[in-house]
Amino acid sequence: LCLNGYSLTSAYEYGTVIINDNATLNVTDCGNDGKIANTGSYRTGNAIVTSSDGVNITLNLYSGTLEANTGCAYYNDADENCVFNQYGGKVTTSTTDPQTGTVTMLDGCGKYNLYGGSVENTNAYWTVYATGENTQLSMSGTAQINKPVWVKNRIVITGVLTPPASAYVICYMSRNQTG
């Protein structure tokens, strides 16, 4: 999907774009300021959502913006083999919900591979919120994050990570943690 400088916007409470089973969505912007956005005021007003109980879903962001007003820019509640690869572009939200982030991965098997671009939250909460049993955040390259990250299980730093403008804050909770 080439945004070509245009916006795909809705206020639909469950997501502007919903990716179903066995699908890959490639997003790029051949123009300027293209974005997929959700302007809703409800907590679930997400820009891109994987289908609940979904399998084999991939989102590749090369350029452009994923933006949510109060929900998540990317929300993954799928069951298995769901991957978000960010090579560039911007992923942003203004959520104030402490149980979500700009990129949220719950329950299932979600992987977020952050190779480049930026992830931002304009409020005080998480940029990445990953609490699923098999969720994983991988970072490398020129990735930029402006707020803390909450990851329950795995963080992988591969290769050389270009120094950010300010220090990363990562909150990590091991799956073996008790009490």
Strand order in the sheet with 170-172: 17-19, 48-50, 74-76, 101-105, 126-130, 149-151, 170-172
State the pLDDT at residue 97.
Answer: 81
Residue 176 DSSP SS3: coil
pLDDT higher for 62 or 121?
62
In tens, the pLDDT along 85-103 reads 999 999 999 888 877 888 8
- The span from the first CA to the last CA of the chain, in angstroms, equals 46
* 39 or 171, greater pLDDT: 39
> What's the predicted TM-score (pTM) here?
0.87
| DSSP label of 2 | B
